[in-house]
Amino acid sequence: MPISPNRTAQTGQRAAKGRALLALGAAAALSGCASANVDRMRTSSIPMDDYRVRHPIVLSQSANRLDIFPPPEGYGLDRRSYAQVVQYGKLYRYNGQGPIVAFLPAAGYGTANRGTIESIRRALAFGGAHAPLQVTTYPVVNRDLASPIRLSFIGLKAKVADPCGQWPNDLASGSTLQGWQNKPYWNFGCSYQSMFAAQVADPRDLVGPRAEDASDTVFRTYAIDQLRAGKDPSTTWNTSGTSINPIGSTGSQ
């Protein structure tokens, strides 16, 4: 029986469709393997939670406070309190703005308040804080406790976005499967971030680097002259006359 050209064309089209379906099936299988590998990596037992993402350090305009305890019977600041206020003035010079407020206890210092305030002004000026000082008082609740003088100003401050001490989940989780996920607990890293933010002298260093200082022209000229003379421009460290023994020596007994 003769085969018509139409039937031959249909047979070829069916074969082509079959090969295309096979290719699509193979591609789908390979993609399934790839997606399975990605899923295995994504849901692996390695914790993907980063404490720096969960407890980020942010910059904000917040109150910077200092509590000092000058002697009540004195007219001014003692050496320790004066040094603290000078350092506080330096902090204001870099990060502060607006007035500085001094909160004095309503009772406890008496006539010594005026001399203490003048000492605070001098210490702030010595630290570079040339800002108006506003003086106010606060009530003393318990006179048996020491009442400090609190200084406060608004300035740039680094702190953790959320307060520490949050425990939304049980660490043991005996009644749930949360403890089986092998992830760090919620409060992990919060105290570290808070302490790190408090120790940074200039909060702007957390955002970007500082500008480069001018190079040491004298040392650079010396190095160029040494190279022109064919000498080694590196620094020669003289260790003679020291108590450090060379490597391998036993030293005197």
- pLDDT tens per residue, range 206-220: 988 888 888 888 888
pLDDT at 140 over 50: yes
* pLDDT at position 228 over 60: yes
Alpha-helical segments (H) within 3-72: 5-42, 51-54
Residue 82 amino acid letter: Y
Q: At what angle do helices 79-95 and 113-126 cross, to 10 degrees?
A: 50
Higher pLDDT, 127 or 174: 127
Question: Could you tell me the two tokens for 166?
Answer: 């949050």
Per-residue model confidence (pLDDT) at position 125: 95
What domains can be seen in the chain, in order of their start residue? 47-209 (3.30.1330)
Q: Which tens digit of pLDDT belongs to each residue from 16-71?
A: 555 655 555 555 555 555 444 444 444 444 445 788 888 899 999 989 999 998 87
CA–CA distance, 252 with 237 (Å, rounded to integer)? 24
Q: What is the average pLDDT across 13-18?
A: 58
What is the full DSSP assignment across 137-160? Answer: EE--S-TTS---EEEEEEEEEEEE
**Bridge-based pairing state of the strands 149-160 and 96-105:** antiparallel
Residue 114 pLDDT exceeds 70 = yes
Whole-model pTM: value is: 0.57
| pLDDT confidence of residue 47 | 47
96 neighbors 129 (Cβ within 8 angstroms): yes
Rounded-to-integer distance, Cα 138 and Cα 148, Å: 10
Higher per-residue confidence, 238 vs 127:
127
66 contacts 85 by C-beta, under 8 angstroms: yes
- Beta strands 133-138 and 57-68, pairing class: unpaired
Q: What is the band of 83 on the pLDDT scale with cuts at 50, 70, 90?
A: very high
State the average pLDDT over residues 137-145.
Answer: 85
Contacts of 82 (CB under 8 A, 6+ apart): 119, 123
Residue 182 pLDDT more than 60?
A: yes
Rounded CA-CA distance 70/110 in Å is 13
Find, among 194, 176, 172, the residue nearest to 185 by Cα. Answer: 172
Most confident of 48-52, 146-150, 183-187: 146-150
Helices (H) and strands (E) in the chain, counts: 6, 4
Give residue 13's pLDDT band: very low, low, confident or very high (50, 70, 90): low
Q: Can you tell me whether residue 136 is helix, strand or coil?
A: strand
pLDDT category at 123 given cuts 50, 70, 90 is very high
Looking at residue 112, its pLDDT comes to 53
Q: Which residues face 63 on adjacent strands?
A: 154
